[in-house]
Amino acid sequence: MHLVFVGAHPDDETYTSGTIARHIAGGGKATLIIATRGGKGHWKIPSAELVKIRTKEMEAAAKTLGAGLVWLDYEDASVPAGDELRETLVDVYRKLKPDIVITFHPLVWRDDHRRVGLTASDATLKASLPLHETAYPYHRPEPEVYFFGEPMAAITPNAYVDVTMQMDVKHRTFLCHVSQWASWEIDGSVNPDHAEKVWERFRARFAANGAVCGVAYAEAFIGREKTRRAPWLLPTA
């Protein structure tokens, strides 16, 4: 099975890297589609330099996970809404032929994330329509879609993945994005302890997810499909 993750920025995969690692460990294939190179994600580092840094960080993270990487090369904080991004993703899906798509919930905070989440979901249907002709043949069946993130509405996760065995690779993947954790200080100073403090917040979040479903660490999703083929989902009541 081919799992395709669709995110807006390098480091967005941090929220779901355990599931991606687990999918690969089970013999599956995974590809990360990242819409921008994160050129506005710092207070101090100039954009052109930051793009180079974050490209390398994302490449290292994908390599750590054992996943493929596809850049869409939109501008950070300016991911296009609607048709342009959807048509781009239609052709990406037709090339990659995903069975599972993981992306942001369309109601999360931050417009880049919302736009990616909504169009990544919409494009699964459009890529499957034979009469919607592009340079690539249609892709059926439509992949299952799992959303992550914290929607700006009371929506409870309904799909969990036990990532207890993946916490080490998840931590190592997180540390690849050092520009985002180690030097995110308004005064430009570098705090060497900062990354581990951020990680501790993440770890607590995944431990809290685990407590919901009786495992040590879990990632939580909102699943659109009733029929689920993903082999790593915990059974739900």
**Interior angle at CA 8, CA 63 and CA 140, nearest 5:** 80
- Least spacing, CB of residue 82 vs Zn ion, in Å: 19
Question: Is 8 one of the binding residues for Zn ion (CB under 5 A)?
Answer: yes
Cα 150 versus chain centre, distance: 13
Chain centroid to CA 126: how far? 21
Using CB under 5 A, which of 9, 23, 37, 177 touches Zn ion? 9
Nearest-approach distance from CB 188 to Zn ion, in angstroms: 21
Comparison of 94 and 113: residue with beta carbon closer to Zn ion: 113
**Binding piece for Zn ion, criterion CB under 5 A, among 12-20, 51-59, 94-102, 143-151:** 12-20
Based on CB atoms, which residue is closest to Zn ion, 8 or 123?
Answer: 8
By CB under 5 A, name the one of 4, 12, 166, 174 that touches Zn ion.
12
CB of 12 to Zn ion, least distance (A): 4
Distance of closest approach, residue 41 Cβ to Zn ion, in angstroms? 8
Q: Which residue in the shown chain puts its C-beta closest to Zn ion?
A: 9
Question: Using CB under 5 A, which of the segments 7-15, 45-53, 94-102, 216-224 binds Zn ion?
Answer: 7-15
Query: Per CB under 5 A, which region of 2-10, 43-51, 149-157, 200-208 contacts Zn ion?
Result: 2-10
Strand ranges across the sheet with 29-36:
68-74, 29-36, 2-7, 100-104, 144-148, 218-223, 159-162
CA–CA distance, 36 with 109 (Å, rounded to integer): 17
- Name the residues that contact Zn ion, by CB under 5 A: 8-9, 12
